[in-house]
């Protein structure tokens, strides 16, 4: 590719103790925790709202909230759940279902009350690094290019964008280079939920029948996660996999958006024809953030592995615990891949028993080769299978809260994420309510 040089003098728009890039569940947990513990915090987010996949992405639900006995996302996660329930922000049939518009306002209030300097519609565009430290990030917004400097940085972009731009090592995909499919989530109305429930619809069977008899599906997708009730006649849907996409490639991401939007009317037709209660259902809108399940995994001091999942591993430097199963969606639309997914994720033998969980070590947040950079959320240091567990939103609250507290302690320790005793981090997290054994 032909290259051009580019040099420009730009304003420093903010100087912080802690700068958090990305305001999904991990970034919000990190920013609020740092700010409440005395840090001057900047939070930059490329969309017009906070919440990431759970709001702009219209992901329907929080999953993996407990291990059957313990509430795992204690602290900020608990606070968000309580606020959401108190604001009538959950589904009428399931308290883990998200009414995204209400969740957006809850995050607005949390971040404002914590005194965080928030910049929406601000895209992290480049990173300046000096040796083992990030010093400055460059952003693009309606103000043009600007710089933000900080003592400690937290990469909560989901894609590990900050770390990758800084030159950190990362993994992407499985050992064959396959990446889990993404989905564009959507909002639907005019549903007769009573009729739907009364019909006890065998969705897999009628979907398979539709693949054989109707001919409007571009790709037969056996893994149908479906509709989640959010109101009297409303649902959010996690439907339609886009296979083979890569969210770190502009061309691939553009094609994914176009493909996903083509899938939604196919599902609308299917539901109209074959699903009782959905004869008059309407697709109202789709997410403004593409539903990315898998992206860069930034290399930390430790890599959490599937072996750790199987072993229910414990670590000296645990900052929390998690138990959600390893949920690797089918890599392609074949029935064989769907069966592989079912065998792995649904197999009772692989599932944890009530009260079982694995430890999350602090070292999966400390970015290899950097002193003042932490990750939180989907992009923490795991193998590709463990990313399939820890990526769900309660897991992101846990790593976000820990990164936020660690950033404050790093700021007080020469801007070094490894220069304080981890037991003190654990004690501080316990004071916030974190569940650490
Ligand atoms: C289709 C789908 C269904 C899912 N279902 C569930 C479910 O049922 N339950 C569950 O708990 N989890 C579910 N997940 C997983 C979960 O939603 C995500 O893994 C989780 O939201 C990741 O949190 P995060 O904070 O790391 O990243 P995100 O939620 O992705 O947030 C990252 C934020 O960073 C911002 N950002 C990214 N790049 C930049 C940049 N360059 N500059 C500025 N800002 C940037 C983004 O706009 C976004 O707001 C699902 C995911 C998908 C895609």
Distance CA 280, CA 271 (A): 9
Q: Is-contact 394 63, C-beta < 8 A?
A: yes
Question: Ligand 1 mean position to 307 CA, how many Å?
Answer: 25
Q: Is-contact 148 136, C-beta < 8 A?
A: yes
Distance CA 409, CA 403 (A): 10
Give the N- to C-terminal CA distance of the chain in Å, as an integer. Answer: 52
Which two tokens mark 36? 């409440």
Which two tokens mark 164? 């990758």
Q: What is the pLDDT along the chain (437 residues), one digit of tens a residue?
A: 899 999 999 999 999 999 999 999 999 999 999 999 999 999 999 999 999 999 999 999 999 999 999 999 999 999 999 999 999 999 999 999 999 999 999 999 999 999 999 999 999 999 999 999 999 999 999 999 999 999 999 999 999 999 999 999 999 999 999 999 999 999 999 999 999 999 998 998 999 999 989 877 888 899 998 999 999 999 999 999 999 999 999 999 999 999 999 999 999 999 999 999 999 999 999 999 999 999 999 999 999 999 999 999 999 999 999 999 999 999 999 999 999 999 988 888 889 999 999 999 999 999 999 999 999 999 999 999 999 999 999 999 999 999 999 999 999 999 999 999 999 999 999 999 999 99
Q: Is-contact 307 290, C-beta < 8 A?
A: no
Question: Ligand 1 mean position to 393 CA, how many Å?
Answer: 8
| 210 torsion bin: left (phi>0), alpha (psi -120 to 50), beta (else) | alpha
294 phi, psi to nearest 5 deg: -140, 135
Beta strands in 193-304 (DSSP E): 227-229, 235-237, 241-242, 282-286, 297-298
| Ligand 1 pocket test, candidate residues 166, 291, 393, 401, most atoms within 8 A of CB | 393
Q: How many residues does the chain have?
A: 437
Global pTM reads 0.98
Distance CA 297, CA 377 (A): 10
Distances (CA, A) of 411 to 238, 404, 408: 40, 11, 5
Please name the residue whose Cα sits nearest to atom 12 of ligand 1: 392
Please name the residue whose Cα sits nearest to atom 31 of ligand 1: 24
Q: Is-contact 169 208, C-beta < 8 A?
A: no
Question: Ligand 1 mean position to 45 CA, how many Å?
Answer: 12
Report the greatest alpha carbon distance in the chain. 66
| Ligand 1 pocket test, candidate residues 50, 145, 158, 187, most atoms within 8 A of CB | 158
Dihedral angle, C-alpha 158, 123, 50, 31, nearest 10 °: 70
Question: Ligand 1 mean position to 10 CA, how many Å?
Answer: 30
| Ligand 1 pocket test, candidate residues 19, 42, 52, most atoms within 8 A of CB | 52
* Residue 343: half-sphere exposure toward Cβ, Cα within 13 Å: 6
Domains belonging to the chain, first-starting first, are: 13-174+294-431 (3.50.50.60), 182-286 (no CATH)
Q: Taking CB atoms and a 6 Å cutoff, what residues make up the pocket around ligand 1?
A: 21-27, 44-47, 52-54, 59-63, 123-124, 156-159, 161, 182-183, 185, 238, 289, 291-293, 377-378, 391-393, 396
């Amino acid at each position: 590719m032909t290259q051009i040089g580019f040099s420009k003098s730009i304003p420093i728009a903010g100087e912080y103790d802690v700068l958090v890039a990305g305001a999904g569940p991990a970034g919000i947990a990190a920013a609020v925790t740092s700010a409440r513990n005395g840090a001057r915090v900047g939070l930059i987010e490329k969309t017009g709202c906070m919440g990431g996949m759970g709001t702009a992405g219209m992901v329907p639900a929080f999953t993996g909230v407990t291990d059957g006995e313990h509430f795992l996302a204690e602290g900020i996660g608990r606070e968000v759940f309580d606020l959401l329930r108190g604001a009538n922000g959950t589904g009428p049939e399931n308290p883990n279902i998200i009414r995204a518009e209400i969740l957006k306002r809850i995050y607005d209030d949390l971040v404002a009350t914590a005194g965080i300097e928030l910049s929406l519609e601000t895209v992290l565009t480049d990173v300046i690094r000096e040796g083992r430290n990030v010093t400055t990030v460059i952003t693009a917004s309606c103000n043009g290019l600007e710089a933000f400097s900080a003592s400690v940085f937290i990469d909560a972009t989901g894609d590990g964008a900050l770390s990758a731009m800084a030159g950190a090592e990362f993994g992407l995909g499985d050992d064959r280079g396959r990446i889990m499919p993404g989905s564009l989530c959507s909002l639907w109305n005019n549903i007769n939920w009573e009729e739907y429930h009364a019909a006890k619809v065998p969705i897999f069977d009628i979907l398979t029948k539709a693949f054989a008899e109707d001919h409007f599906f571009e790709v037969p997708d056996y893994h149908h996660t479906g509709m989640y009730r959010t109101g009297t006649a409303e649902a959010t849907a996690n439907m339609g996999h886009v296979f083979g996409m890569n969210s770190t490639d502009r061309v691939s991401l553009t094609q994914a958006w176009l493909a996903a939007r083509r899938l939604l009317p196919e599902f609308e037709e299917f539901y109209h024809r074959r699903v009782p209660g959905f004869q008059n259902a309407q697709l109202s809108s789709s997410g403004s953030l593409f539903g990315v399940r898998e992206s860069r995994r930034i290399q930390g001091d430790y890599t959490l592995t599937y072996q750790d999942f199987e072993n229910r591993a414990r670590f000296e430097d645990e900052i929390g615990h998690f138990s959600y199963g390893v949920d690797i969606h089918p890599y392609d639309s074949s029935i064989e891949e769907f069966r592989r997914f079912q065998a792995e994720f649904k197999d009772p033998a692989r599932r944890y028993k009530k009260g079982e969980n694995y430890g999350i070590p602090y070292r999966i947040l400390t970015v290899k080769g950097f002193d003042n950079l932490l990750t939180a959320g989907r992009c923490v240091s795991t193998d590709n299978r463990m990313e399939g567990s820890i990526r769900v939103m309660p897991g992101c609250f846990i790593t976000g809260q820990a990164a936020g507290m660690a950033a404050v302690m790093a700021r007080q320790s020469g801007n070094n994420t490894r220069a304080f005793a981890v037991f003190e981090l654990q004690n501080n997290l316990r004071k916030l309510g974190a569940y650490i054994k």
